[in-house]
Amino acid sequence: MKIVQIASEFAPIAKAGGLGEVVLGLSRELTRQHHQVDVILPKYSFIDPSKLTELAVEPTGGPNASNTIWSAAVEECRLHLIEPREEDYFRRSQIYGFPDDAPRFLHFCKAAMEYLAALKKPIDILHLHDWHAAACAPLLRGMFASKIRVGKVIFTIHNLEYQGKCGTRDLDAIGMKGAAYLTPGRLQDTNPLYPQSINLLKGGILYSDAVNTVSPSYAQEIQEPSMGFGLDQFLKRAKVKGILNGVDQTVWNPAKDPHLAVRYHSSDPLAKIREAKNANKRLLQEKFKLKSLGRPLVGAITRLVPQKGIYLIQAAIEAVLDAGGAFALMGSSSSSAIQHQFDELKKRYKNHPHVFLEYRYSDPLAHLLYAALDFVLVPSLFEPCGLTQIIAMHYGTIPIVRSTGGLRDTVFDCEDGMVPLEKRNGFVFKEPTVEALRTTLQRAFSFWHAEQPTCLAMLRRMMETDCSWRKPAQEYLKLYLKSSPANKPAAPAKITISTETHSKIGYRTG
Ligand code: ADP
């Protein structure tokens, strides 16, 4: 099959969270299964060129085109990088977080479609990821309908919270005639307070042949008004399906991980695994001047956004210390208010022998943490899939999670009698309260201290669970083959009026 993926992230060259890992992992697995996969991505100026091979300008477009298209190979995948000639849309320090995020990614979508049109080659599957690529779906049904031959369009929602809200003028800017899309059956946002607002993610849902999200539980949850961010009815109609993410085993493998002090394999004797994890813990402690060797080490590796339950992460520090543990946080924030709260925490725990707080994005340190931690904490308020708990288990680190979305699909409480023993792999709490968190931490620590054989057996079970992309890729292939072109809203007919008013609304990014 010829598959084109369009996304704003691709690990490791442009990653802000799970999205980049999914696009890499899925593309690489489909390539290995002999499908032809091409990934279209913005050419961010921060991409390290040494990570790209065979970098060359593609001849498509000609000297007058408004974008330069670069071709490159990365991690066995073929990439096409879009660089606007005039605008500085991707000459930024990071992927998201700018007031013009909607125009940036609308420009990207239009450029991607122009590129595919110029290629003049049929595509079996056009796979769009999140709101940043969503506008490709209505573009394909409208302006590019006769210019690109596509079998099916698949839209994957990695996080429903971010919807790419903008004004009709932003659509006009790429020639989409925004006013014509401002209807309830097209791209008009569902929030009655902002009737002039366009919702790009909604366009991905309405104009694609199949819509999926990244775990079965999240797919169910977002069809309810309480978690549907205004789009539950549209998601219900689209019959959104959940496909659980995998983890790329060439990136995340404790047996080959270059960032570890001592590597270990799931088939090693249990004592050897324990010793290797301890050696990694020692390295972490030496690096960050902790003195917590005998204590259970709990950590969180996360974006610091409300979704991730940041008040629970903050409360966890004291709860972990009270229960006799040590705490490590690796968090990245793009909000100054949130950053301020965490800076205050850092002051409070300055030079604390059992608390380590680091506010930056670092892949090498994240790798070491996954190996060094005893427990990873994921107290999310909602979670489309969550990769941290899956990676952690693969590194023999026990997850402590709140029961929601993909966390519910991957972590089963050690003491839950309703779950078969061989499936139990962590600690789960339901209510998003500090009290529930404290109780669960205490249960987890008792297990860690007292039940060594059970704990070690579970460690091997977690590490041996197949979390590769093999199965998820099969499910995507089924979706590619099964989804029949649905009834799409018609692309707007010729427009004669242009009375759009640009409402001042906050763009959501991420
Ligand atoms: P999300 O996509 O919502 O951020 P996921 O759990 O799906 O959450 O994926 C998060 C990914 O980003 C994981 O691979 C995690 O290790 C990584 N990550 C998150 N924060 C950091 C950080 N500060 N430094 C390094 N890696 C991080």
CA-nearest of 405, 412, 407, 428 to 462 is: 412
Q: Which ligand 1 atom is nearest residue 389's CA?
A: 6
Structural domains of the chain ordered from first start: 2-246+473-505 (3.40.50.2000), 270-464 (3.40.50.2000)
303 Cβ contact list (under 8 Å, min separation 6): 16, 17, 331, 332, 333
Confidence of residue 488 (pLDDT cuts 50, 70, 90): low
The distance of Cα 402 from the centroid of its chain, to the nearest Å, equals 18
pLDDT at 184: 97
Q: How far is the CA of 151 from the centre of ligand 1 (A)?
A: 33
Give mean pLDDT, residues 154-178: 97
Residue with the bigger pLDDT between 484 and 171: it is 171
Give the span between the Cα atoms of 97 and 338, in whole angstroms: 14
Sign of the CA dihedral with 220 first, then 222, 226, and 232 last:
negative
Q: Which ligand 1 atom is nearest residue 331's CA?
A: 23
Confidence of residue 510 (pLDDT cuts 50, 70, 90): very low
Confidence of residue 457 (pLDDT cuts 50, 70, 90): confident
Residues of the chain with pLDDT > 90, as a percent, come to 86
Contact 375, 297 (CB under 8 A): yes
Give mean pLDDT, residues 370-389: 98
Helix, strand, coil abundance in the chain, percent, nearest 5: 40, 20, 45
Residue to substitute in 157, 302, 338 for testing ligand 1 pocket (most ligand atoms within 8 angstroms of CB): 302
Residues of the chain with pLDDT > 70, as a percent, come to 94
* Whether residue 152 has its Cβ less than 6 Å from ligand 1: no
* Whether residue 341 has its Cβ less than 6 Å from ligand 1: no
Q: How far is the CA of 462 from the centre of ligand 1 (A)?
A: 20
- Show the tokens assigned to 100: 């013009």
Q: How far is the CA of 362 from the centre of ligand 1 (A)?
A: 10
Q: How far is the CA of 328 from the centre of ligand 1 (A)?
A: 15
Q: How far is the CA of 104 from the centre of ligand 1 (A)?
A: 23
Q: Which ligand 1 atom is nearest residue 378's CA?
A: 6
Give the span between the Cα atoms of 465 and 456, in whole angstroms: 15
Q: How far is the CA of 221 from the centre of ligand 1 (A)?
A: 22
DSSP E strand boundaries for 334-452: 355-358, 375-378, 398-402, 427-429
Q: How far is the CA of 387 from the centre of ligand 1 (A)?
A: 7
Confidence of residue 456 (pLDDT cuts 50, 70, 90): confident
Give the tens place of pLDDT for each residue, 172-185. 999 999 999 999 99
* Whether residue 399 has its Cβ less than 6 Å from ligand 1: no
Residue with the bigger pLDDT between 390 and 333: it is 390
Q: Which ligand 1 atom is nearest residue 387's CA?
A: 6
Give mean pLDDT, residues 495-499: 33
pLDDT at 333: 87
Confidence of residue 61 (pLDDT cuts 50, 70, 90): low
Helix axes 434-450, 452-464, angle to 10 degrees: 110
* Whether residue 366 has its Cβ less than 6 Å from ligand 1: yes
Going by alpha carbons, the residue nearest to atom 21 of ligand 1 is 302
Q: How far is the CA of 20 from the centre of ligand 1 (A)?
A: 10
pLDDT at 454: 77
Q: How far is the CA of 399 from the centre of ligand 1 (A)?
A: 15
Q: How far is the CA of 303 from the centre of ligand 1 (A)?
A: 6
* Whether residue 387 has its Cβ less than 6 Å from ligand 1: yes
Give the tens place of pLDDT for each residue, 280-331. 999 999 998 888 888 999 999 999 999 999 999 999 999 999 999 999 999 9
* Whether residue 18 has its Cβ less than 6 Å from ligand 1: yes
Confidence of residue 110 (pLDDT cuts 50, 70, 90): very high
Give the span between the Cα atoms of 154 and 432, in whole angstroms: 33
* Whether residue 431 has its Cβ less than 6 Å from ligand 1: no
Give the tens place of pLDDT for each residue, 124-154. 999 999 999 999 999 999 999 999 999 999 9
Going by alpha carbons, the residue nearest to atom 4 of ligand 1 is 17
Least confident piece of the model among 33-42, 168-177, 261-270, 452-461: 452-461
pLDDT at 292: 82
Asked if residue 502 has pLDDT above 50, the reply is no
* Whether residue 362 has its Cβ less than 6 Å from ligand 1: yes
| Distance (Å) of CA 197 to CA 201, 230, 500, 502 | 12, 13, 10, 8
Asked if residue 493 has pLDDT above 90, the reply is no
- Show the tokens assigned to 117: 């049109």
Q: How far is the CA of 332 from the centre of ligand 1 (A)?
A: 9
Q: Which ligand 1 atom is nearest residue 158's CA?
A: 2
pLDDT at 484: 57
Say how many C-beta atoms besides its own lie within 10 A of residue 44's C-beta. Answer: 20
Say how many C-beta atoms besides its own lie within 10 A of residue 432's C-beta. Answer: 17
